[in-house]
Amino acid sequence: MATIGFENVHYAVLTKDDTTGVTYGTPKKLPGAIRLSETMENNTAEIFADNRLWATATVFSKGTLEIEMADISTEDAAALLGHTVDSSGKIVYNAADVAPYICLMGEFLKEDGVTKRYFKLLKGQCAESSMEANTKTDSPEFTTVNLTATFMPRQYDGDYKYIIDSSTEGSATTIASWYTAV
């Protein structure tokens, strides 16, 4: 089934990823999901022998994610991009700031209007995006927020994405806790 909807975006900061284990902070909702675009990059090597293609090998390289949101709070923007919010509520951008690794999760509604596909991208880092706005005219236009992130396999186990459909037998327990922990 094809998907017809996208909602319930959450993120959790990755606090540990090494050979001994992986830990995340508590997931937090990002309201206002509009669009998500994921591009997976693979590297392929080929070997030719006896005048023909003999074998190929393909490995996952990285994933690039673009997500469009209706808006994003200053607290969430700062958390995703590694900035701070000062006591007056403004985001302070510093050249030394480093965006944390995060897990991004959400769900797609399938064409039957009932079945959902849940996803988790396990280790990614958001990048600064450009600001864009238009002057108000006699026909108002909305300006949205676009975030980009690069996702990669975790050091701990090499996993980079989880997906489960609500129609999968036995999925209810997994889905019930989907947004409470990674």
pLDDT in tens, 69-127: 999 999 999 999 999 999 999 999 999 999 999 999 999 999 999 999 999 999 999 99
CB 16 within 8 A of CB 101: no
**Percentage of residues in the chain with pLDDT exceeding 90?**
85
DSSP string, 107-132: EEEETTSS-EEEEEEEEEEEE-----
pLDDT in tens, 3-31: 899 999 999 999 999 999 999 999 999 99
Task: Say how far apart CA 79 and CA 30 lie, in whole Å.
Answer: 11
Global pTM reads 0.89
Q: What is the sign of the dihedral through the CA atoms of 170, 175, 181 and 182? A: positive
Average pLDDT (41-66) is 94
Domain ranges of the chain: 3-176
